[in-house]
Amino acid sequence: MREMLTVMGPMFWLILFFAVLALAVLAERLFYFHRININSGEFLRGLSALLRSGQYDECLHEARQLPGPMARVVEAVLSRPRLPRHELREIALEASEVEVYRIERNVRTLLVCATVMPLLGVLGTLLSLVQFYEQPGVTSGAAASPIVAATLQQALLLSASGIALAIPAYLFYMYLASRARKLINQVERAGLECVHIIADAREIALAGPAEEEPARCCCCKTQEAAAESPDGEA
């Protein structure tokens, strides 16, 4: 292994740097997604039950206790529950946009690493060939076989290492991007659901209970029944 690293030269260390960077980003994003992972369905059901019963303070306390972007968007909406529906919707969308940056942070770094590493491998291959042909006697066929073999080995190893390290980096990028999109959708859904529940509960509270029919005495009911009968007196 040590001889192989020596043969590939300094270009391989640059490829290895991007590989280590991709690994660090992957570990950080996986830890982040694991830390903020909550059951969105259960969270929304509990949120709906608390809001419909008018327990805004309890719901705000629960949102502040939970980690992650979904709870922060709900907290932003619950902090201003008396605003109109359209203003609450704007607050939810603005808070969701802020969380989108946090969710997608460093994810595209994996795509950069997956794109750069094979290019560095090809560049190292070309530089090795250029350096080989700059040696005296190569163009006239006077180069020794060991030198030709070492040059070809270095060139092929650089291209192979760049491609081999780029493939898993790109696959992990696709996985993290898919997970980020799913989480963003859940965050936006939670914010809008919170807005609709607050507005609907407030409208129901303002409408009040249904008006009951005024009570009437027995004499009035008897007189109305007699007036409605065909042979009754007015």
Higher pLDDT, residue 57 or 73: 73
Q: What value does the mean pLDDT take over residues 149-176?
A: 88
For residue 72, the model assigns a pLDDT of 86
For residue 114, the model assigns a pLDDT of 93
Q: Which amino acid is at 7?
A: V
Share of the chain above pLDDT 90, in %: 21
What tens digit of pLDDT does each residue of 169-198 get? 999 999 999 999 988 888 888 888 888 888
Q: What value does the mean pLDDT take over residues 46-68?
A: 77
CB of 92 closer than 8 Å to CB of 191:
yes
Q: Which residues contact 9 (CB under 8 A, 6 or more apart)?
A: 124, 128, 154, 158
Can you give the pTM of this predicted structure? 0.72
